């Protein structure tokens, strides 16, 4: 009876499975399978090159827990996320609201200008930022000195106390446009009729924003924050081209450290790198779960009050 | 009433001026690239805020175009990127739709796996991907690159579609079914066109990721340099002991142009093509 | 047999003209045969290296080769060494690796690569051997199990901390515009004067401090100039392979290393370092130096080649001097020159590829190489006769004066390669520590070096136990060289 019921349900939803098929195949082959492979690699003492790959069980994990650089890199990644995600989401919403005004002249031009950094190849950004933040005659320092804001040029990328902030700034700058586009897309889903209704009710633009626009954007906040956070975890390319994790580990985001261990040291260790990758994945998953539970809890508390 | 309107106009122009200043600062580094692409090898290091080169060195562009085979690479980049974008939109919209609208057996598992992989660090997957593609005979082909680029990740795109479709009123679908449209027709004629803004967003995201991806096209074209993309082609400017900065800047400028065009086009689509169905 | 003897004699005698002619003759015949066979199997020999500056030379050789062997084409690809390691790794895995390739960025010794089945023994090795000076092929480095896998093309007598300087700035600061400063003290004094006179427009010293691998090389070389004796098991001054040849111990915590780091730190404290140095790589540092913003710059012999090619306006202001040292009379050690190019085990044209590769052995290639002012060719004589910038000749002369051949534990016992691939480099590495010291993050130099040396020794012990546990014959004594003498070459016969 239940078997028949199941078969009937499967058959009645056959189109759903057909629709899922491309994703299942591609995603399975190029995302799920590699993750499973990484799990397996993480149990090997393997440099990724040789034929010799002895099974060492959880040895790599044990080592990772005692690896101060790994913990340091987690701290750096957390800092990056905690600082840049809220800033980027909030600032880009502000700009999106301004740009969404249909009566704003040149809006399209502004939108494009804010978006261009996102389309520029990271390798080139890395090179250019070296010049822009150069402490010997670079434009930023020259401006700061000319305006009398600092006496001595700041070694933005070379000083461990400023390098992380500089990298975060550049990352925000580069990807700001993407978050902006998310918000603009979200704003497009609010029908013009809603604004018109608000206006005929005599609401000013500020009131319309507070009582109409923002509440309607709320469902988007979570997904946009999530997308931004995920992108931020992939700060990897940028760090690699700008500082390579240095100076003295000050910008060593976890993905950079994983990459270095797996591929780029004088003794590459794909097994250990994979173990670090698995731990990092679990770490972010837990973080996301806490966030999701927190949001759900907050919503429930609000709706019950 | 008139005074208020004037004040509003004034406010708008203040906004415009402020935005203009911000945007100029914003794109300064990019203007710097364009400026560097017109300087000679030492002029790049002249420093300072100024952007106008003393003499214009257009030969950097000639060098970028000729030495780095940029004509061919541009074609490859365009083909690979468009293929990837099309495939990602199709597969993610399909998956997003059924996840949002259908209550099929195993849905929780599918969503669970998708969300879980959202957080897997990306850098390590390259080795298994290469092993698998080798096994399937997909190395050294544009198809292989497109499949790998479209297959890895893009969970966010699925979720965006799912989120969007779940908010579309049921009546629209029901109306289509009443008109005698089947499952497929309902999706392609009614639902997908509705999701215009999401498609545009996903399109832009995917376009950027595919266009800028470096490692995958590099690895997939070891034996076929004629299949390389622009981002791989940039390699030519960074040598063992020297970097051709002005050539690199010229190449960067060249590779930026198609992206700007795409964005300007898609942006119009955001602005004007907001699906009429929502309003109705 | 007699012809072989003659060839060998010619190669040895260094009678350049006769040697070059004889060699050219024999190459042509042997490669032609093999190339004919390659033509059957597709007619393409794929070649990957990381020698960007030598690209024109190599392409010329390939064009000649294609002309001499109709139907065969060489596909040449130049990689950035930073990206090459991963490219090789993935290409090998997927069976796409080139017929001939270099091994930059892989971080594995030749022995480990041979053991993992990456490389093919060269075909026609005797012809190659005949073109090289005696004893330039060593078991454990070029020869494995009696088969030749590679051969050196660059000289072991070179280092990366030549003091390249801006003659104008050094002269104005009261220094010797021909040789530059010789001692650390003079270096400091001149750097200070250049900085003072520069008034923010010019600084004493510029260096790419952002890349710790390169920084490490300078530290090791400065430590040698301060008297650190070193045996070397790896090319490129990899930290796992450097030990005191008398004791076989790691010596990173000894006086010469401490002094070298203190010397560099004193430059930072004196504020004579070009401010952007901390975020520059060597390439960018060189370009900045060429704009005249700094007086002195440490680099290898290739510096003048790059300046000549890219910054022609600056080439007449360039001077070069020896690595600064405490005494002004530096003695450095150089590892036996490793091979640079290998034929892949996956190649289907091993014979043709070996034949083409043979073109890179011996004095003719050295002569062509010298003209590019890049790495030092194996045959130093070629430089003397070459029509090159005087600083390049001077650099090679300085190398000849200062560099002695270091003993290599790998040559003594090739099994050491297994120990080294079992070892995991402790982090922070010496280069990273140096970065920390120069940026003020690490304050106690001696303590940091002591900990680092301790970690290295412990790691080696662990790896040694692991490897000998598998029945491999290797012991700590293989790192010791009782017959080594300070300031002398450790020659091939001394291993016996």
Please give the mean pLDDT across all residues of chain C. Answer: 86
Cβ of B218 within 8 Å of Cβ of C83? The answer is yes
Start-to-end CA span in chain C (Å):
26
In which element (H, E) is residue C170 found? helix C167-172
pLDDT one-digit tens code per residue, A178-214: 888 778 877 877 777 776 776 666 666 777 777 778 8
Return the residue in A37, A41, A62, A136 with the most chain C beta carbons within 10 A, the one to mutate for interface testing. Answer: A136
Q: Using CA atoms, how far apart are residues C151 and C129, in angstroms rounded to an integer?
A: 8
Task: Give dist(CA C169, CA B268) in Å, integer.
Answer: 57
* Percent of chain C whose pLDDT exceeds 70: 91
Classified as helix, coil or strand, C119 is strand
Residue B44: list chain A partners with CB under 8 A: 131
Residue C161, min C-alpha distance to chain B (Å): 15
* Nearest residue of chain A to residue C439 (CA atoms): A159
C210, closest residue in chain A (CA to CA): A247
Give the strand order in the sheet containing C100-102: C73-78, C44-49, C100-102, C341-344, C119-120
CB contact under 8 A, B49 and A142: yes
CB distance from C110 to chain A under 8 Å? no
Residue C30 is predicted with a pLDDT of: 39
**Nearest residue in chain C measured CA to CA from A153:** C275
Whether C181 contacts C163, CB under 8 Å: yes
pLDDT given at position A266: 65
Question: Smallest CA–CA separation between A281 and chain C, in Å?
Answer: 23
Q: Is the pLDDT of residue C40 over 90?
A: no
Cβ C369 vs Cβ C439: under 8 Å:
no
CA gap C487, C53 in Å, rounded: 33
Distance from CA of A304 to the nearest CA of B (A): 24
pLDDT at C371: 92
> Are A69 and C435 inside 8 Å of each other by CB?
no
In B103-142, the residues whose Cβ lies within 8 Å of chain A are 103-105, 110, 113-114, 116-129, 131-132
Instruction: Read off the tokens for B112.
Output: 């669970």
SS3 (DSSP) at C139: strand
Question: Which of A51, A134, A266 is opposite residue C107, by nearest beta carbon?
Answer: A266
Those residues whose C-beta lies under 8 Å from the C-beta of residue C359, and which sit 6 or more positions away, are C27, C31, C61, C65, C365
Q: Is the CB of C94 less than 8 angstroms away from the CB of B240?
A: no
Cβ <8 Å between B241 and C286:
yes
Interval C429-466: pLDDT, tens? 999 999 999 999 999 999 999 999 999 999 999 999 99
For all residues of chain A together, what is the average pLDDT? 84
Q: Is the pLDDT of residue C424 over 90?
A: no
| Higher pLDDT pick, C149 / B231 | C149
Q: Which of A37, A138, A158, A257 to mutate to test the interface with C (most CBs of C within 10 A)?
A: A158
**Residues C50, B211: contact at Cβ < 8 Å?**
no
Give the residue among C281, C279, C277, C291 at the shortest CA–CA distance from C169: C291
Distance from CA of C432 to the nearest CA of A (A): 6
Residues of chain B neighbouring C79 (CB-CB closer than 8 A): 235
pLDDT score, position B80: 94
C115 contacts A265? CB cut-off 8 A = no
Cis preceding linkage at C122, omega within 30: no
User: Is C167:C290 a contact under the CB 8 Å cutoff?
Assistant: no
Give the per-residue pLDDT at B221: 80
What's the pLDDT score for residue C318? 95
CB pair distance less than 8 Å for C311 and B241: no
**Is a pLDDT exceeding 80 seen at residue A227?**
no
pLDDT for C133: 87
Across chain B, what does the average pLDDT equal?
Answer: 80
pTM score: 0.83
pLDDT computed for residue A2 by the predictor: 54
In this prediction, residue A202 carries a pLDDT of 64
Interchain CB distance below 8 Å, A248 and C209: no
B79-95: pLDDT as tens digits: 999 999 999 999 999 99
Residue B225 is given by DSSP the state: G
Higher pLDDT, C379 or C452: C452
The percent of residues above 90 in pLDDT, for chain B, comes to 14
Flag if C275 and A135 touch (Cβ within 8 Å).
Answer: yes
Cis bond before residue A243 (omega within 30° of 0)? no
Judged by a CB distance cut-off of 8 A, whether residue B212 touches chain A is: yes
B55 touches chain C (CB under 8 A): no
> Which residues numbered 226-255 in B keep a CB inside 8 Å of some CB on C?
235-236, 238-245
Residue with tokens 């469902």: A219
Instruction: Point out the residue among C50, C93, C306 whose CB comes nearest to the CB of B127.
Output: C93
pLDDT of residue C29: 37
How many contacts, defined by CB atoms under 8 Å, are there between A and C? 103
Neighbours of chain B (3+ CB pairs under 8 A): A, C
Please choose, from the candidates C446, C168, C458, the residue with its C-alpha nearest in 3D space to the C-alpha of residue C314. Answer: C168
Predicted pLDDT at C190? 96
Min CA distance, B219 vs chain A (Å)? 14
**How does strand C403-405 pair with strand C332-334?**
parallel
Q: Tell me the C-alpha distance between C20 and C7, whole Å.
A: 10
Q: What chain C residue is nearest to B125 in terms of C-alpha separation?
A: C90
C157-185 pLDDT tens trace: 999 999 999 999 999 999 999 999 999 99
**Residue that wins the pLDDT comparison between A249 and A297:** A249
Each residue's pLDDT tens digit, A34-58 = 889 889 999 998 877 666 788 988 9
Residues with Cβ within 8 Å of A304's Cβ and at least 6 positions away in sequence, in order, are none
Least confident among A5-19, C170-184, C208-222, C377-391: A5-19
The answer to whether C116 contacts chain A (CB < 8 Å) is yes
The alpha carbon of residue C80 is apart from the nearest alpha carbon of chain B, in Å, by 6
The CA distance from C185 to the nearest CA of chain B, in Å, is: 30
Q: Which residues of C touch A144 (CB under 8 A)?
A: none
Q: Which residues in chain B are closer than 8 Å to C288, comparing Cβ atoms? A: 45
Q: Cα(C342)–Cα(C99) distance, rounded to whole angstroms?
A: 8
Which member of B103, B132, B200 has the closest CB to residue A29? Answer: B132
Cβ-based burial of C1 (10 A; exposed 0-12, middle 13-18, buried ≥19): exposed
At B3 the pLDDT is: 63
Q: Which of B121, B160, B273 to mutate to test the interface with A (most CBs of A within 10 A)?
A: B121
Closest chain C residue by Cα to residue A246: C210
Nearest CA in chain B to A256: B123
Distance from CA of A32 to the nearest CA of C (A): 20
- CB-CB neighbors (< 8 A) of B268 in chain A: 108
Residues B254 and B65: their CA atoms lie apart, in Å, by 9
Q: Which of A189-193, C107-111, C471-475 has the lowest mean pLDDT?
A: A189-193
Query: Which among C94, C283, C313 has the least Cβ separation from residue B242?
Result: C283
At residue C346, the pLDDT reads: 92
Q: How far is CA C297 from the centre of its chain?
A: 18
pLDDT at site C64? 93
Q: Do A281 and B249 touch (CB under 8 A)?
A: no
Contact C210 A247 (CB under 8 A): yes
Which position has the higher pLDDT, B230 or A75? A75
A88 shares contact with chain B (CB less than 8 Å): no
Q: What percent of chain C has pLDDT over 90?
A: 60
- Among B141, B236, B239, the strongest candidate for a mutation testing the C interface, having the largest count of C CBs within 10 A, is B239
- Smallest Cβ–Cβ distance between B121 and the set A37, A112, A280 belongs to A280
Residue C405 confidence (pLDDT) above 60? yes
Residue A40 neighbours by CB under 8 Å, 6+ apart: none
Which pLDDT score, from 0 to 100, does residue C12 have? 33
B98-132 pLDDT, tens digit per residue, is 898 888 888 888 888 888 887 776 666 777 888 78
Q: Is the pLDDT of residue B237 over 80?
A: no
Look at A204-213, C107-116, C201-210, C427-436 and tell me which has the smallest mean pLDDT: A204-213
Q: For the segment C132-143, what is each residue's pLDDT rounded down to a tens digit?
A: 988 889 988 899
Task: Using a CB–CB cutoff of 8 Å, tell me whether C479 touches chain B.
Answer: no
What is the rounded average pLDDT of the residues B182-187? 81
- pLDDT given for residue B279 in this prediction: 28
> What are the chain A neighbours of B122 within 8 Å (beta carbons)?
234, 236, 255
CB-CB: which of B23, B124, B187 is closest to A114? B23
Q: Is the dihedral of CA C134, C138, C141, C142 positive or negative?
A: positive
Q: Which residues of A touch C432 (CB under 8 A)?
A: 246, 248-249
């Amino acid at each position: 009876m239940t078997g028949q019921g199941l078969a009937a349900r499967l058959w009645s939803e056959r189109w759903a499975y057909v629709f899922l098929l491309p994703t299942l195949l591609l995603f399975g082959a190029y995302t799920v399978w590699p993750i499973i492979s990484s799990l397996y690699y993480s149990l090997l003492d393997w440099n990724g090159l040789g034929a010799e790959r002895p099974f060492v069980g959880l040895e790599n994990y044990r080592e990772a827990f005692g690896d101060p650089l790994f913990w340091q890199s987690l701290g750096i990644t957390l800092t990056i996320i905690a600082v840049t995600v809220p800033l980027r989401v909030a600032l880009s919403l502000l700009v999106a609201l301004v740009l969404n005004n249909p009566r704003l002249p040149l809006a399209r031009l502004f939108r494009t200008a804010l978006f261009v950094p996102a389309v520029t190849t990271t390798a080139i950004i890395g090179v250019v930022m070296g010049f822009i933040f150069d402490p010997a005659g670079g434009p930023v320092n020259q401006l700061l000195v000319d305006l009398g804001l600092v006496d001595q040029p700041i070694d933005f990328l070379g000083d461990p106390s400023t390098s992380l902030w500089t990298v975060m700034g550049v990352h925000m700058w580069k990807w700001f446009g993407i978050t902006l586009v998310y918000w603009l897309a979200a704003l497009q889903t609010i029908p013009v009729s809603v604004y018109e209704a608000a206006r005929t009710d005599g609401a000013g633009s500020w009131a319309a924003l507070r009582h109409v626009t923002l509440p309607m954007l709320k469902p988007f906040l979570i997904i946009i924050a999530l997308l931004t956070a995920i992108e931020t975890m992939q700060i990897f390319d940028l760090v690699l081209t700008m500082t390579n994790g240095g100076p003295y580990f000050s910008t060593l985001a976890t993905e950079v450290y994983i990459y270095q261990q797996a591929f780029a040291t004088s003794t590459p260790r794909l097994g250990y790198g994979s173990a670090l990758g698995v731990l990092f994945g679990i770490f972010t998953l837990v973080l996301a779960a806490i966030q999701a539970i927190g949001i759900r809890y907050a919503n429930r508390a609000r709706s019950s009050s | 009433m008139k005074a208020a309107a004037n004040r509003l106009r004034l406010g708008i122009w203040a906004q415009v001026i402020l935005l203009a200043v911000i945007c100029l600062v914003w794109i300064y580094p990019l203007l710097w690239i364009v400026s560097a692409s017109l300087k000679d090898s030492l002029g790049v290091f002249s420093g300072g805020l100024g952007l106008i080169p003393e003499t214009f060195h257009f030969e950097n562009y000639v060098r970028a175009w000729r030495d780095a085979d940029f004509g061919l690479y541009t074609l490859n980049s365009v083909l690979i990127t468009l293929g990837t974008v099309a495939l990602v939109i199709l597969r993610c919209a399909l998956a997003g739709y059924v996840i949002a609208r259908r209550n099929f057996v195993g849905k929780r598992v599918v969503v669970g796996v998708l969300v879980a992989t959202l957080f897997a660090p990306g850098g390590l997957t390259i080795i298994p991907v290469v092993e698998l593609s080798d096994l399937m005979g997909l190395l050294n082909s544009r198809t292989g690159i497109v499949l790998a680029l479209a297959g890895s990740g893009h969970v966010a795109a699925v979720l965006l579609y799912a989120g969007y479709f779940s908010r579309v009123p049921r009546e629209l679908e029901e109306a289509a079914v009443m008109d005698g449209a089947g499952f497929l027709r309902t999706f392609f004629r009614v639902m997908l066109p509705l999701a215009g803004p999401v498609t545009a967003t996903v399109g832009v995201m995917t376009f950027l990721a595919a266009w800028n991806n470096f490692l995958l096209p590099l690895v997939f074209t070891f034996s076929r340099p004629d299949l390389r993309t622009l981002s791989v082609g940039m390699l030519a400017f960074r040598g063992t002991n020297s970097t051709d900065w002005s050539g690199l800047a010229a190449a960067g400028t060249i590779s930026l142009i198609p992206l700007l065009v795409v964005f300007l086009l898609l942006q119009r689509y955001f602005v004007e093509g907001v699906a009429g169905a929502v309003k109705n | 047999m007699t012809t072989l003897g003659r060839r060998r004699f010619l190669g040895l005698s260094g009678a350049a003209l006769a040697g070059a002619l004889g060699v050219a003759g024999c190459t042509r015949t042997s490669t032609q045969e093999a190339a004919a066979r390659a033509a059957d199997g597709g007619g393409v020999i794929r070649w990957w290296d990381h020698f960007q500056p030598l690209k024109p030379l190599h392409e010329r050789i390939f064009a000649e080769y294609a002309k001499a062997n109709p139907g065969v084409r060489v596909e040449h690809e130049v990689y950035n060494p930073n990206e090459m390691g991963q490219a090789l790794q993935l290409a090998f895995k997927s069976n796409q690796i080139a017929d001939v390739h270099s091994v930059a960025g892989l971080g594995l010794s030749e022995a480990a690569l041979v053991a993992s089945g990456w490389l093919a023994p060269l075909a026609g090795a005797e012809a190659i051997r005949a073109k090289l000076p005696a004893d330039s092929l060593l078991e454990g480095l070029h020869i494995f199990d009696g088969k030749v896998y590679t051969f050196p093309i660059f000289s072991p007598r070179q280092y990366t901390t030549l003091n390249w300087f801006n003659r104008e700035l050094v002269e104005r600061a009261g220094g010797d515009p021909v040789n530059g400063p010789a001692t650390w003290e003079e270096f400091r004094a001149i750097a200070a004067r250049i900085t003072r006179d520069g008034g923010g427009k010019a600084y004493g010293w510029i260096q790419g401090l952002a890349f710790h691998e390169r920084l490490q090389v300078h530290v090791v070389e400065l430590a040698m100039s301060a008297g650190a004796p070193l045996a070397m098991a790896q090319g490129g001054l990899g930290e796992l392979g450097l030990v005191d040849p008398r004791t076989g111990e790691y010596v990173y915590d000894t006086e010469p290393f401490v002094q070298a780091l203190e010397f560099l730190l004193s430059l930072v404290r004196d504020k004579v370092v070009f401010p952007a140095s901390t975020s520059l790589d060597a390439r960018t540092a060189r370009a900045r130096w060429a704009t005249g913003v700094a007086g002195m710059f440490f680099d290898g012999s290739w510096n003048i080649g790059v300046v000549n090619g890219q910054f022609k306006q600056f080439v007449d202001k360039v001077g070069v001097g020896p690595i600064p040292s405490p005494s002004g009379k530096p003695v450095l050690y150089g590892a036996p020159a490793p091979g640079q190019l290998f034929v892949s085990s996956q190649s289907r044209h091993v014979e043709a590829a070996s034949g083409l590769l043979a073109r890179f052995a011996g004095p003719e290639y050295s002569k062509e190489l010298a003209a590019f002012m890049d790495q030092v060719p194996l045959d130093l004589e070629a430089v003397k006769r070459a029509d090159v910038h005087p600083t390049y000749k001077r650099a090679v002369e300085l190398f000849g004066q200062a560099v002695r051949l270091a003993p290599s534990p790998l040559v003594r016992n090739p099994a050491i390669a297994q120990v080294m691939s079992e070892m995991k480099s402790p982090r922070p590495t010496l280069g990273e520590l140096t970065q920390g010291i120069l940026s003020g993050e690490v304050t106690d130099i001696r303590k940091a070096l002591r900990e680092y040396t301790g970690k290295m020794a412990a790691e080696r012990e662990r790896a040694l136990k692991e490897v000998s546990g598998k029945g491999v014959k290797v012991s700590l004594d293989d790192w010791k060289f009782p017959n080594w003498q300070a300031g002398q070459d450790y020659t091939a016969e001394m291993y016996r």
